[in-house]
A and B are shown apart, each in its own frame.
Chain A
Amino acid sequence: MTTPESEPWNALAAEPMDSVDGAVMAQIATLYTAIDPVPADLVERLQFALTLDALNAELAELQQLDAMAARGVDADQTKTLTFTSESLTTMVTITPAGPDRLRIDGWCAPGSGLVVELRQVNSSVEVDTDSDGRFVFADVAHGLTRFVIRVAQSAGRTPVITPAVEL
């Protein structure tokens, strides 16, 4: 039978850490930073999600199937994303529209009388939905983007906010 004392590492385990251990721990951090780096922009995306008005909103989720597409690098294709939350479903189709520009056709359900804000890191544009819940942003730049959807003329209602996606 193996007792703990008979394990060869047991004595080592009871010793205080020394400078070699410090070097090993530093090497471990270097190793994992190399093999599994924090994604570019992740810090920025998280900071963005924690802005004050984001915190007072109903958070929509990007549907999982769409999530892979949203995070993909295939920027030249038309893609459709669906966001769902308790009170609202929002679908957006993103189409290339000229050099470095995008067109976004969207639909909210239930959707009439809403204001959809397209928010990027340094800009924000709002449009109203039509009676069917449709909306269009005809000229959009690439970049980290989220949608904030409010009921028009209803200050008390909680807005819906989507996660940020890279367009």
Chain B
Amino acid sequence: MGRAMVNAEAEHSTLACRAGHAFSSFRDGDSAAMADLVAMLTPILWHTVRAQRLDAASAEDVLQTTWLALVKSADKIADPRSVLQWLIVTARREAWRVSRGQARQTPQELFDDDIVSTEESPENLVLRSDTDQVLWAHIAALPDRCRELLRVIAFSDRPDYAQLARSLGMPVGSIGPTRGRCLAKLRLSLTTDARWEPR
């Protein structure tokens, strides 16, 4: 069995590749494939947009705009396998545009790495398990950019991490194939917390 086949199997197993296949089918005339693509990618795109501190209603509008943009640009995307990256970049840009419009009164907030947004503050959360509570405490202590990165990337598969990190505007090496700075910080702070148990 050749290397190419192993690679092909590995590729099919990641979110980005499954998305690429569905998008190819859509471009080849299978209109139902778009519905599959939406179902497949809505979680990761939702968290991409919500990490930009948009309220839920605005986040929905941003996602709708993003998908309409995809359909309009469908023929211009050179490589269908890059469709997930394209969607993340587009959703993030649109979320940024909308949140900048909304945040005129407190523009500083967008740039302040230390503020945990009210949407995410732990007292508003119902965390079901101790594991979640401990994990949340450590995630909340990360810089905003790391929190955004891990939040979005967590909804993909490991072979996609490096590419998706670039789509999120993070430098090469932010995550994948090595741990990178954000996950290393989180890992270090978790492993020094006696309450945390790796599963």
- Residue ranges of A at the interface with B (Cβ–Cβ < 8 Å): 8-10, 12-17, 20-36, 38-39, 42-43, 45-47, 49-50, 52, 55, 59, 67-68, 71, 163
Pair B67/A46 contact, Cβ less than 8 Å: yes
Within 8 A of A (CB), among B167-199: 176-181, 183-188, 190, 198-199
Tell me how far the C-beta of B33 lies from the nearest C-beta in chain A, rounded to whole angstroms. Answer: 11
Partner pick for B71 among A10, A23, A27, A50, CB 8 A cutoff: A50
Pair A17/B35 contact, Cβ less than 8 Å: no
Tell me how far the C-beta of B184 lies from the nearest C-beta in chain A, rounded to whole angstroms. Answer: 4
User: Given that A12-B188, A46-B38 are contacting pairs, would A32 and B47 also be in contact in the complex, using a CB cutoff of 8 Å?
Assistant: yes
Within 8 A of A (CB), among B110-143: 119-120, 125-128, 131-132, 135-136, 139
Pair B178/A15 contact, Cβ less than 8 Å: yes
Tell me how far the C-beta of A144 lies from the nearest C-beta in chain B, rounded to whole angstroms. Answer: 12
Tell me how far the C-beta of A119 lies from the nearest C-beta in chain B, rounded to whole angstroms. Answer: 16
Q: Which residues of B contact A50 (CB under 8 A)?
A: 34-35, 38, 67-68, 71
In the assembled complex, the Cα of A14 lies from the Cα of B179 at a distance in Å of: 6
Pair A13/B179 contact, Cβ less than 8 Å: yes
**12 CB-based A-B contacts, threshold 8 Å:** A12-B179, A13-B179, A14-B179, A17-B179, A24-B183, A27-B135, A27-B199, A32-B154, A32-B155, A34-B132, A47-B39, A55-B72
Cβ-closest chain B residue relative to A68 = B57
Q: Which residues of B contact A38 (CB under 8 A)?
A: 42-43, 46
In the assembled complex, the Cα of A29 lies from the Cα of B67 at a distance in Å of: 23
Cβ-closest chain A residue relative to B44 = A29
